[in-house]
Amino acid sequence: MKKDLASHPSSSSSTDPIGQNVVKLISNVCFSFFVFSVLIFTVIAITYQPPDPWLESSKALTRVFTAVENATYKTDESVLKTGEDLVLSRALTPTAAPITEEGIERVIDLSSLVMSCEENVVNCSDPRALVAIERFNLRRFRTIVFLEYQQPVNGSRANECDVAWRFRSKKEKSWRKYRDFRRFRLDVGENCSYVVTGARGWHSGINARRPRSRIGGGGGAVVVGNGGAANAAPPVQDNEINDTIPTLGPESAFRKGRYLYYSRGGDYCKGMNHYIWSFLCALGEAQYLNRTFVMDLSVCLEATYTPSNKDEEGKDFRFYFDFEHLKETASIIEEGEFIRDWKKWDKTHKKKIPVRKVKNYKVMPTQLMKDQSTIIWREFDAPEPENYWYRVCEGSAAKYIQRPWHAIWKSKRLMNIVSEISGRMDWDFDAVHVVRGEKALNKQLWPHLDSDTSPEAILNKLKGVIQPWRNVYIATNEKFYNYFDKLRSNYKVHLLDDYKELWGNTSEWYNETKLLNDGHSVDFDGYMRVAVDTEVLFRAKTRVETFNNLTMDCKDGVNTC
């Protein structure tokens, strides 16, 4: 017994170190695993770069713009979202602070003004008149931001003042300015204060409209319209749009530059979503390589948006997108200018321009980073889909190339039409998006769409959503204009074709696009129609969509919701 008691402590002392060592070993392994995990996470966080500059995944962005399947794009009737529609990772800085009620008080101290009000005569040059108009506009137009006003001028009567201002819609995220000028009726109230008693509609203050620059030094061009009737179309130009083609200047400037040149690939004559997806891939690679991108301004519009139902080449990029903004945000040169300078250099110099030709899209941008050639020329001669530009940005290249979505805005000429339509409805309207066309005819994929978008069904739906006799804009692909006449019994219905004069042969849009097109008139094509329709729809106070509102059919067909 004593032997057992004596041997017990020695046994305990011999096993304790083993248990402690096991515990230490386990704790060390766990700590090492934790440190290793933290290290891996840190490396990933530092080195990972999302393929696009928004806070969304690559798959989400692909779904937003268009879906990819076997390297081809699905047809999408929706208009491409561009930089001004999206919340960017970096803030947009407006060029002018918005005018607010508090700002009006700070700008002008009315108590310091010593002015008489003889016999209640309205003096449009009196600062108090402008203050009254600014306050009236802030109360009446709550969906737009006022940026700057011009000095009021006399209207057609003694108590009227015409005023011009610059503004933007609160639903547009760009800093572009639009213009309006209206006629106001004023009275003199107590203490010589001014009160606005009435205001006319969009662009009614014609005395406040600034003279527009005329193209060609004056005389209006005579344009033959439908039926052969001659219509005077004064060639005016929007001075706020500068989409001239940039030039490099001296030959030495061309030689000092570094360029990325993409030959035309299979993306030409594909859908606009496909085209922009590929174009921004190329522009993103140029930015990654710190090179100037050589840009082909020629766009091929796919048959979906053409009256002939055939692809139409020779469309100008500037018809659809804001080239001025693109020039300000990216280093680009127009292809024609580039080739002329290139040929001129090679013709006048013995030493030719060094060119690196890249025949396979699988050549990574990282492999071209240190190339010192003046021109890197990517060729896309393989059969489809191997000749799509966007293939350059696939795979591991997505870590390095970020598509500069912020560089692409819709054409300001189209957006001017959007503002004109919205302004004519005094920025106080609702809208319904009615998708019909081929989808309504396909009962297998959309069994209820046709009946759910009938005039009776739409009217019954709107009665529970929109108050009677509101302005209702209908954005639709329905070709029959009178299809929605039944809605006119309850609402003031507006359709895109109600505003045809905005792109007719006496309009600013017509003359400006004609100038871009070497004097040839430009058709207001299907893509332009959908773009304007969509942007007006976005500016509505209440918006009713076809899918999820008018019908429970799935947008992409049965079982795709």
DSSP code per residue over 420-434: HHHHHTTT--EEEEE
For residues 247 and 385, membership in a common domain is answered with yes
Are the C-beta atoms of residues 205 and 155 closer than 8 Å to each other? yes
Question: Among residues 28, 48, 68, which one ends one of the domains?
Answer: 48
For residues 382 and 247, membership in a common domain is answered with yes
If we measure between CA atoms, which residue out of 92, 176, 80, 172 comes closest to residue 412?
176
pLDDT at 493: 98
pLDDT at 53: 37
Residue with tokens 């008139």: 521
For residues 205 and 262, membership in a common domain is answered with no
Q: What is the largest CA-CA distance in the chain?
A: 130
Whole-number Å distance between alpha carbons of 7 and 22 = 24
pLDDT exceeds 60 at position 77: no
Whole-number Å distance between alpha carbons of 123 and 350 = 73
The identity of residue 212, as a single letter, is R
pLDDT exceeds 90 at position 483: yes
> Is 233 part of a structural domain of the chain?
no
For residues 175 and 272, membership in a common domain is answered with no
For residues 329 and 276, membership in a common domain is answered with yes
pLDDT exceeds 50 at position 59: no
- Give the highest mean pLDDT range of 69-83, 238-252, 457-471: 457-471
For residues 171 and 119, membership in a common domain is answered with yes
pLDDT at 252: 74
Q: How confident is the model at residue 173 (pLDDT cuts 50, 70, 90)?
A: confident
pLDDT exceeds 90 at position 427: yes
For residues 279 and 149, membership in a common domain is answered with no
For residues 143 and 16, membership in a common domain is answered with no
Q: Say what percent of the chain tops pLDDT 70.
A: 80
| Average pLDDT for 397-401 | 94
pLDDT at 2: 43
Domain of 284? Answer: 243-407
> Is 56 part of a structural domain of the chain?
no
Are the C-beta atoms of residues 321 and 330 closer than 8 Å to each other? no
Write phi, then psi, for 10 (nearest 5 degrees): -65, -35
Q: Say what percent of the chain tops pLDDT 90.
A: 63
pLDDT at 103: 67
If we measure between CA atoms, which residue out of 363, 395, 422 comes closest to residue 167?
422
pLDDT at 73: 47
> Is 63 part of a structural domain of the chain?
no
pLDDT at 46: 54
Write phi, then psi, for 465 (nearest 5 degrees): -120, -40
Whole-number Å distance between alpha carbons of 331 and 376 = 15
| Average pLDDT for 189-205 | 89
- A 10 A CB-CB count for 380 gives 23
Cα 160 from chain centre: 38
Are the C-beta atoms of residues 427 and 143 closer than 8 Å to each other? yes
Q: How confident is the model at residue 533 (pLDDT cuts 50, 70, 90)?
A: very high
HEC string of 501-546 equals HHCCCCCHHHHHHHHHCCCCCCCCCHHHHHHHHHHHHHCCCCEECC
Whole-number Å distance between alpha carbons of 429 and 421 = 11
Residue 410 DSSP class: B
| Average pLDDT for 99-118 | 60
Are the C-beta atoms of residues 473 and 494 closer than 8 Å to each other? yes
Are the C-beta atoms of residues 401 and 79 closer than 8 Å to each other? no
Question: Among residues 9, 28, 48, which one ends one of the domains?
Answer: 48
| Average pLDDT for 296-302 | 96
Question: What phi-psi label fits residue 314: left (phi over 0), alpha (psi between -120 and 50 degrees) or beta?
Answer: left
**Token output for 356:** 């690196």
Whole-number Å distance between alpha carbons of 545 and 529 = 18
pLDDT at 246: 83
For residues 256 and 374, membership in a common domain is answered with yes
pLDDT exceeds 70 at position 411: yes
Q: How confident is the model at residue 491 (pLDDT cuts 50, 70, 90)?
A: very high
Question: Among residues 193, 210, 227, which one ends one of the domains?
Answer: 210
| Three-state secondary-structure class, residue 44 | helix
Are the C-beta atoms of residues 182 and 205 closer than 8 Å to each other? yes
> Is 142 part of a structural domain of the chain?
yes
Whole-number Å distance between alpha carbons of 533 and 435 = 12
pLDDT exceeds 90 at position 40: no
For residues 249 and 395, membership in a common domain is answered with yes
The runs of H, that is alpha helices, within 266-385 are: 272-288, 317-320, 323-329, 335-348, 365-368
pLDDT exceeds 60 at position 155: yes
Instruction: Provide the mean pLDDT of the chain.
Output: 83
| Average pLDDT for 145-156 | 94
| Three-state secondary-structure class, residue 125 | coil
Q: 228: Cβ–Cβ under 8 A, 6 or more apart, which residues? A: none
For residues 270 and 183, membership in a common domain is answered with no
Measured at the alpha carbon of residue 492, what is the angle toward residues 491 and 493, in degrees to the nearest 5? 95
pLDDT exceeds 60 at position 544: yes
Question: What phi-psi label fits residue 421: left (phi over 0), alpha (psi between -120 and 50 degrees) or beta?
Answer: alpha
User: ω before 17 within 30° of 0 (cis)?
Assistant: no
> Is 57 part of a structural domain of the chain?
no
| Least reliable range by pLDDT among 25-34, 89-98, 242-251, 388-397 | 89-98
Radius of gyration of the chain (CA): 32
State the total domains in the chain. 4
Residue-wise pLDDT for 365-392, tens only, equals: 999 999 999 999 999 999 999 999 999 9
> How far is the CA of 211 from the CAs of 181, 364, 372, 457, in angstroms?
13, 53, 50, 48
Residue of higher predicted confidence among 187 and 26: 187
pLDDT at 210: 76
Cα 480 from chain centre: 29
Q: 123: Cβ–Cβ under 8 A, 6 or more apart, which residues? A: 115, 129
pLDDT at 545: 96
For residues 170 and 249, membership in a common domain is answered with no
> Is 61 part of a structural domain of the chain?
no
Write phi, then psi, for 92 (nearest 5 degrees): -85, 130
Residue-wise pLDDT for 216-269, tens only, equals: 433 333 333 333 333 333 444 566 788 888 887 777 788 889 999 999 999 999
| Average pLDDT for 263-289 | 95
Sheet holding 355-358, edge to edge: 332-334, 292-295, 259-262, 375-378, 355-358
How many Cα atoms sit within 13 Å of 82 on the Cβ side? 25
pLDDT exceeds 90 at position 274: yes
